[in-house]
Homo-oligomer: A and B are copies of this chain.
């Protein structure tokens, strides 16, 4: 965790946000990430997502079972979902989402939005062409050499 915190401090000087994350497998650091949203013009480049991408590349797999993530701040819903998709075993965090809100990184807004019925969310979602899109799922179902995850 001290390494994740050090990354969060350094990243401020490097034009990024005050967030760092480290992924560990079998006691060894396999990836590091920092928040590069504004530095790289990538709204998905949170520290945890960056670390997950790097760990997957380093280990040659999309399945990070057996890994732990140390993040300098409690994951936002995007990062927490990415942690689920990556099958990471355990999360260690230091600052909380409430600490983050105090410096104007308000992910509690997104947690609230996700818990709402889709018709009640602030970004409208409209369903169209479901009858055409389903063809891709049918094609996937009968594909023999697909990789599930």
Q: Does A28 lie at the interface of the complex (its beta carbon under 8 Å from any beta carbon of B)?
A: no
Interchain CB contact under 8 A, A127 and B90: no
For chain A, the bracket of interface size reads 35 or more
Interchain CB contact under 8 A, B43 and A127: no
Interchain CB contact under 8 A, A103 and B141: yes
Residues of chain B lying within 8 A (CB to CB) of residue A85: 37, 43-44, 76, 78, 110
Given A62-B38, A90-B124: A2 and B129 interface contact (C-beta under 8 Å)? yes
Report the minimum CB–CB distance from A145 to chain B (whole Å).
9
Interchain CB contact under 8 A, A12 and B136: yes
Q: Which residues of A contact B (CB under 8 A)?
A: 1-2, 4-5, 8-9, 12, 17-20, 37-38, 41-44, 49, 52-53, 56-57, 60-64, 72-78, 80-96, 99-100, 102-104, 109-111, 113-115, 123-130, 132-137, 139-141, 143, 146-149
